[in-house]
């Protein structure tokens, strides 16, 4: 855990606006990224990140460095919970924005289109996962959190997290295999 983050959170708990601004500057992009990977909508992700930082300000005194969770883990938990709450709201739109990952160094337009179609299928497969499974995949594989920190962020046991990951990977594998076909054998 960052001693700087701990010191900043103690200052935020005492109402220090400058310390709060430093935390926002350091972690806002991270919060938006986490929210976007759960919600697949840029505007919603930005709103969730803003709401998360409002909660950081309001509830800074509740965060405890000795509670075992780093500030980043605590923030991830707030962001993921807000995303899940938002997804459960009636009237939430379906997949509004597709994730597009294109390697600009690709040699041909065909390869660019293939990469875009593949990333779109992966994004759609991720979007179909239940929120908790998607959040587990996001925290462990995109954010690089340890299973212990991801479990803390989701407020579940490590065993429950591992079960979520197993189910999510199985669902993704089956969904992508049916959408993209089986992987090619070496030399094909």
The beta-carbon contacts of 160-169 under 8 Å, at least 24 apart in sequence, are: 161/136, 164/132, 164/133, 164/136, 165/133, 165/136, 165/137, 165/140, 167/133, 168/129, 168/133, 168/134, 168/136, 168/137, 169/137
Q: What is the pLDDT of residue 124?
A: 81
- pTM equals 0.60
Q: How confident is the model at residue 186 (pLDDT cuts 50, 70, 90)?
A: low
CA distance 90 to 92: 6
Query: Distance of CA 87 to CAs 36, 80, 127, Å?
Result: 12, 11, 11
Q: Is the pLDDT of residue 86 over 70?
A: yes
Class level of CATH domain 1-94: mainly alpha
Torsion, CA 143, CA 145, CA 149, CA 153, rounded to 10: 20
Mean pLDDT of 66-89: 82
Report which of 81, 183, 174, 182 is spatially closest to residue 128, judged by C-alpha positions. 174
Three-state DSSP class for residue 99: coil
The predicted-structure confidence for 134-152, as pLDDT tens digits, reads as follows 989 988 887 788 899 889 8
Lowest mean pLDDT among 4-8, 48-52, 73-77, 112-116: 112-116
The predicted-structure confidence for 90-139, as pLDDT tens digits, reads as follows 554 443 443 444 444 444 666 656 666 776 777 788 888 998 899 899 88
Q: What is the pLDDT of residue 133?
A: 92
Q: Over the range 60-98, which residues count as b (16 or more CB within 10 Å of their CB) and which as e?
A: beebebeeebbbbbbbbbbbbbbbbebeeeeeeeeeeee
Domain extents in the chain: 1-94
């Amino acid at each position: 855990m960052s001693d700087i983050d701990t010191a900043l959170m103690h200052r935020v708990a005492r109402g220090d606006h400058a310390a709060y601004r430093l935390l926002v500057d350091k972690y806002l992009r991270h919060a938006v990224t986490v929210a976007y990977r759960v919600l697949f909508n840029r505007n919603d992700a930005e709103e969730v990140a803003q709401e998360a930082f409002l909660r950081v300000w309001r509830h800074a005194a509740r965060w405890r460095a000795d509670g075992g969770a780093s500030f980043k883990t605590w923030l991830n938990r707030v962001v993921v919970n807000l995303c899940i709450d938002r997804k459960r709201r009636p009237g939430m739109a379906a997949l509004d924005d597709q994730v597009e990952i294109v390697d600009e160094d690709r040699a041909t337009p065909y390869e660019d289109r293939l990469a875009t179609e593949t990333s779109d299928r992966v994004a759609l497969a991720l979007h179909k996962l239940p929120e908790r499974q998607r959040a587990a995949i996001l925290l462990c594989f995109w954010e690089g959190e340890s299973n212990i920190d991801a479990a803390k962020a989701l407020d579940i046991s490590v065993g429950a997290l591992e079960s979520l990951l197993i189910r999510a990977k199985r669902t993704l594998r089956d969904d992508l295999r049916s959408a993209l076909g089986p992987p090619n054998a070496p030399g094909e």
